[in-house]
Each structure stands twice: as C-alpha cells, then as structure tokens.
Amino acid sequence: MRQKNPKQILAESSLYPKKSFGQNFMMDDMVNLAISKTCAEIAKNATIIEIGAGTGALTEHLLEVSKKVYAIERDRDLVKILKDRFYKEIEAGIVEICEADAARFSLKAAFKDDAGILVGNLPYHLTSSIMLLALKNRSVLLGCVFLIQSEVALRLLSKPGSKDFSFLTAIMSLGFSLTRIREVSREAFWPVPKVDSTVIALKKLPNEALDQIDIEDLVKFVRSIFQKRRKQLKTILREKFSESDLLALGIDPKARPEDLEPEMFLKLYFYREHSR
C-alpha cells in the first residue's frame, strides 16, 4: 500500500509547514527514490546521516540501501512523527532520530566506526554551511547527496573561466567530484517554493594534500580571494605573492579568481604557508 504523503501526515496531526524553519516538503516520491539510488551508487549498505528528515518520506527509502540512518530533525513536532513512524526500526537499532540543528551535529561521532554518506534537502540559507561542514568532515565521508536550489547547483557545477565559478565551487571541488543527478520542478514541493531545485552527488576524491592542512584556514584563504573577484590576482595577492611567485606557480598574474583551476588555490595556500 502506498505510504501517505507529507501533506496528509501533517494534516493528521493538525500541523502545517513552518516558514521559520524554511520547510518545503517533497511530494514526488520518485525524487526520494533517485536520492536513495544515488546513495547506493556511492556505497552500498553504508551508514547515512539525513539532514532534515521531515515526515520520513526519504528516510524510508534510505533504509533500503543503508545499514543505519541517523535522521536529523530540529522541529520537535516532526521528531514525534518520526519516532512514531519508525518505532520498530528504532528498536532494531537501524534508525536513530536526532532532534538537533544539522549545522552543529557531530558527523564524526555518528561515523565513529566507518565512513558514511551525508544526505539532505538543504534550505537555501543553510546550503553553504552544510557544504563546508561536509568538506571539513570529509575524513569520515564517502560522499553526499543533496537537493539544492538550481541556481546554487549551477554555480557548484560550473567550470573555471565561467562567471558562475564561485568560492564554494573551488573549495568543494578540491574534496569531491560534483555531479548533477536530476532536475526537480518547484511543483514537486509543498508548499511550492519560488525556485526549482537540483539533486547533486558529491563523491569523495583522494587528496592527500588536502588531508594534511587546516580546512577552516584554507576556506578563509580562498574566500578572501573571491571577495575581490573583480580584481586581478597580482593585485589581490600582492601582500604575499610577487608576480614572479605567481608565474613560478603557473598562474597568470592578470588572471582573476574564477579563472583558476581548484588545485591552484591549494598551491597558493601551500606556497603562502611555506614562505611565512
């Protein structure tokens, strides 16, 4: 028998989407299926952390491809729904409902035994912070599957030289390969948002150099460069790098931040550290 959709589940509890939480519930179960299938392609039977579990529509599919799901939800009303819906799975130890703010949740504590997958339908205001959370915790991740606004996906999937190539694109591409899985119409959500969305997959890349440094410090360094993206690199970096330094690294001093391959930011970072 087909499961009830989020709208029906909330109605039974006399609940409505909360604007303060940025809640938009997925009504198209084929999208949930695509997300769970992508998780299985990254790694079969892995532990999964789901951000914003809502009423559990995606959680149900994730259970079919994982050995355990940590379902994170900050809305206390939805936490109750999740605990009622998955009480058998909770007793069996294959689901853990976590009432928490995803941005402050300890991925390393959940993935204490082995690496896993981070999944979620990300509200716009949390997209960057969750992405960076994934990067900072890549040691315990196999990959991520996110549903994000299409305009953000466009920037994340852009190539160097494009006006859409951004700080987040450069920094995330150092740790993960990013792939578009499918587009999702705004009509697939309830309430209907003003924008369309995209499912993207992030698969962890081997990068020993990245594993040796302070990711937060690298993030600050790359962000500071993109804050002056309209200027040439020789101007942006003049306090730490001469034009000959940039040329020695294979970087055109007249280039702008969006012209660089992601690996070049890592080269700049290491050069800066070693020249202090």
With tokens 């559990």, the residue in question is 56
pLDDT class for 276, splitting at 50, 70, 90? low
Cβ burial, residue 31 (10 Å; 0-12/13-18/19+): buried
pLDDT on residue 272:
82
User: Does 3.40.50.620 match the CATH number of domain 211-274?
Assistant: no
Q: What is the mean pLDDT of residues 207-217?
A: 91
Q: What is the pLDDT of residues 115-172, one digit of tens each?
A: 999 999 998 888 999 999 999 999 999 999 999 999 999 999 999 999 999 999 999 9
Residues of the chain with pLDDT > 90: what percent? Answer: 86
Q: What is the mean pLDDT of residues 224-229?
A: 94
Q: What is the pLDDT of residues 54-69, one digit of tens each?
A: 999 999 999 999 999 9
With tokens 């028998």, the residue in question is 1
In the chain, ranges of CATH 3.40.50.150 domains: 6-206
Q: Decide: 128 and 229 in contact? Cβ < 8 Å.
A: no
Q: What is the mean pLDDT of residues 8-12?
A: 95
Cβ burial, residue 128 (10 Å; 0-12/13-18/19+): middle
Q: Decide: 44 and 65 in contact? Cβ < 8 Å.
A: yes
In the chain, ranges of CATH 1.10.8.100 domains: 211-274
pLDDT on residue 1:
37
Q: What is the pLDDT of residues 96-120, one digit of tens each?
A: 999 998 888 889 888 877 899 999 9
User: What's the CA gap between 144 and 224, in Å, rounded?
Assistant: 26
Reported pTM? 0.94
- Give the domain 6-206 fold: Rossmann fold (3.40.50)
